[in-house]
Amino acid sequence: MLKNRILAEKPQEEELKARLKTAREKLAVQQMQIKEHKLPVLVLLEGWGTSGKGSTIGQVIRNIDPRFFKVASMEIIREEDKRKPFLWRYFKEIPEAGKFVFMDSGWMDEVTRDRLMGVMDDDTYEKRVAGIRRYERQLTDNGYLVVKFFLHISEKEQKRRIDELKDDIDTRWRVNQADKWQNKHYRKCLEIFDKYLDATDSPSAPWYVVDAKSRKWAELQVLETLTEGIDIAMQNQALAVPVLQNVFPLVKMPKLSEIPLSEKTIGDAEYKEELKRLQSHLGELHNRLYRKKVPVIIAYEGWDAAGKGGNIRRITEALDPRGFEVHPIASPEPHEKARHYLWRFFTRLPRTGHIAVFDRTWYGRVMVERLEGFCSENDWKRAYNEINEFEKELSDWGAVIIKFWVHIDKETQLERFTLRQNTPQKQWKITDEDWRNREKWDAYESAVDEMIQKTSTAYAPWHILESVDKKYARIRALKIVIEELEKVL
C-alpha cells in the first residue's frame, strides 16, 4: 500500500486553509450528531516515528468538546497488559456510543514492532493478523465506525525531523531509540508495514494512508476522511450484516431433552469424601497454574435455581483467594450498554495464572437478550460466531475455558421455587422475574439447545452438569475442572 504510491497532492496554501476551515466546522457539527445517533467512533493513528501522530490528534480534537472524546496513548505496554490477551489493552479503550476515541498508535504498532524485532514467528503473526481482522470486523458489525490512518513520511523526511529534534536541546528528549532504529532500517520497516496494511485492509475498516510531510495537510486529510466516514456511518446505522458461518471445529452435543437426569445422584458419604479429595487436588493445581501463568476462565450458565451458586462455591473453596475472582453478571450498566456487548467481559478477564469465574456470562446475548428482544435478530444470530471468535482469542492467548450449563428439569425447578417461596430465609432468592422466566421455559430450552450446538468449539466446549442432585453436579464440576487443568499443566 505504501510502496510506489503517490499520495494526493498538497493543495495551494489558500485552498488548504479554506478546506481546513470547512472540515473543522463540519466536525464540530458532527460531534453533536454522533451523540444523537449514538455512534461510537474509533480513530486509529498509526505511522512512522516522528510522522506527527500526536500533533495531528492534537489539532483534530481542538474542534471537539472535551466531553465527547478521549485520547488513548497506547505506546507504552505495561506489565499488566502483558498478562492479558493481546487485544485487551485496546479493547478496553473502545469508545462508548456517541463518543470519539483517538488512539495514538495501536495494535498495528505493537504487532509490526514485534515483527521487526524478530520476536514474533510467522505462525504467531498469522494468528495475530487473523485475530485483528476478526476484532475490527466485530467492532464494525456491532455499529462502530473504525477509521484507520497511517501517517507516511519518506526516509529523508524522517531523518530531517530526527536531526532537527536532536539539534535543539529542548526537543532532544523527544527522539527515541525506536525512531532512530526505524530510520536506519527504513526499507525493512516499509516492507513489514506494507504487508500489515495489505493484510488488514478490509471493506468495513479500510486503511487511509496520509501524506504527513506537512502538518496542516496531514490534519486536513484526516479531517476530511473522518468527517466523510461519519456521514456514511450515520446513514447506515443499525444495518444488518451477513451472519458468518462458523469456521471453528465444533464438538457434537446432545439436546437438553436427551439428557437423563434422574439417575445422576451421589450418596452423602461418597460426596463428602470425593469433595475433600477433589478440592485438595484442585488447590494443588491452582498453585501450579499460578506458577505456569496459565489463565483460566470458568463460565456458569444454567436454569434459575439449578444450583449455580453452591456449585461455584465448591470450586472457589479450593482456591487461594489471591488467585481468583468471581464475577456475578447482572444487567449491564449504562456505560457497559453503551459499548460492544463483549466489552464488559473482556475487561473482566483474569491475568495470566489467575482464575475468573463468571456467574452468568456473555451467553446472555443469545438467551435473555434474544428472548426479551434486547438486541436485534441480526445481533443474536451473529453472536454465536462472535462468541466463538472471542473465545478463540482467549484460547490463542493460552487460556483454559470451561463452560458449564447447570441443568435441571422443569419439575425440579418448580419444587425449588416453591421451597424458596415457603422458606422465609430463602425468599430473597426468588423474584417475580424468576416466575416470568419460568413461563418461557420452552423458548429458553430451544435457545439453549441452539447455543450449545453452535458454541461448543473444540477449544471451548460446553459441559452439561446434571444438577437435580446438586451434590452430584458439584463433584462433576470439580472433576471436569481438574481434568481440563491437568491437560495443560
- Under the binding rule (CB under 8 A), the answer on residue 16 touching a copy of itself is no
Q: Is 4 in the site for a copy of itself (CB under 8 A)?
A: yes
CB of 203 to a copy of itself, least distance (A): 5
Binding a copy of itself (rule: CB under 8 A), the pick from 15, 231, 411, 486 is 231
Q: How far is the CB of 362 from a copy of itself (least distance, A)?
A: 21
The dihedral over CA atoms of 269, 275, 277, 282, expressed in degrees to the nearest 10, equals: 170
Does residue 33 bind a copy of itself (CB under 8 A)? no
Whole-number Å distance between alpha carbons of 26 and 24: 5
Taking the C-alpha atoms of residue 330 and residue 308, their distance in angstroms, rounded to an integer, is 14
Closest to a copy of itself by CB, 138 or 279: 138
Least distance from a copy of itself to the Cβ atom of residue 263, Å: 25
Q: How far is CA 480 from CA 148, 285, 484, in A?
A: 43, 13, 6
Cβ-based nearer residue to a copy of itself, 316 or 378: 378
Query: Is residue 259 part of the contact set for a copy of itself (CB under 8 A)?
Result: no
Query: Judged by CB under 8 A, which of 28, 165, 190, 241 binds a copy of itself?
Result: 241
Q: Which segment (45-53, 54-62, 155-163, 205-213) binds a copy of itself by CB under 8 A?
A: 205-213
The nearer residue to a copy of itself, 182 or 385, going by C-beta atoms, is 385
Q: Which 419-458 positions form the footprint of a copy of itself (CB under 8 A)?
A: 453, 458
Interface pick for a copy of itself out of 71, 178, 190, 251 (rule CB under 8 A): 251
The distance of closest approach from Cβ of residue 12 to a copy of itself in the complex, given in angstroms and rounded to an integer, is 11
Least spacing, CB of residue 135 vs a copy of itself, in Å: 12
Rg of the chain over CA atoms, in angstroms?
Answer: 26
CB neighbour list of residue 173: distance below 8 Å, 6 or more residues apart: none
Q: In what order do the strands lie in the sheet with 41-47?
A: 69-73, 100-104, 41-47, 145-152, 207-211
Task: Give the integer Cα–Cα distance in Å for 375 and 240.
Answer: 12
Mark 52-91 with x for binding to a copy of itself (rule: CB under 8 A) and - for no binding: ----------------------------------------
- Which positions from 150 through 179 interact with a copy of itself, judged by CB under 8 A? none
- Cell 471537539 locates to 64
Stretch that binds a copy of itself, among 21-29, 242-250, 426-434, 475-483 (CB under 8 A): 242-250
Q: Which parts of 115-144 interact with a copy of itself (CB under 8 A)?
A: 137, 140-141
Residue 418 CB, shortest distance to a copy of itself, in Å, is 35
**If binding is defined by CB under 8 A, does position 28 make contact with a copy of itself?**
no
In this complex, which beta carbon is closest to a copy of itself, that of residue 118 or of residue 242? 242
**Under rule CB under 8 A, residue 1 binds a copy of itself:** yes
Check binding of 232 to a copy of itself (CB under 8 A): yes
Q: To the nearest whole angstrom, how small is the minimum distance from the Cβ of residue 415 to a copy of itself?
A: 32
| Shortest Cβ 70–a copy of itself spacing (Å) | 23
Cβ atoms of residues 329 and 361 within 8 Å: yes
Among 16, 28, 165, 250, binds a copy of itself (CB under 8 A): 250
Residue 12 within binding range of a copy of itself, rule CB under 8 A: no
State which residue, 304 or 393, has the beta carbon closest to a copy of itself.
393
- 208 near a copy of itself (CB under 8 A): yes
- From residue 369 to residue 408, what is the string marking binding to a copy of itself with x (rule CB under 8 A)? ---------x--x---------------------------
Contact with a copy of itself (CB under 8 A): which of 18, 247, 414, 443?
247
Is the Cβ of residue 244 or residue 371 nearer to a copy of itself in the bound state?
244
15 sits near a copy of itself (criterion: CB under 8 A): no
Q: Which residues bind a copy of itself (CB under 8 A)?
A: 1, 4-6, 8-9, 137, 140-141, 202-204, 206-209, 225, 228-229, 231-232, 235-236, 239-252, 378, 381, 453, 458
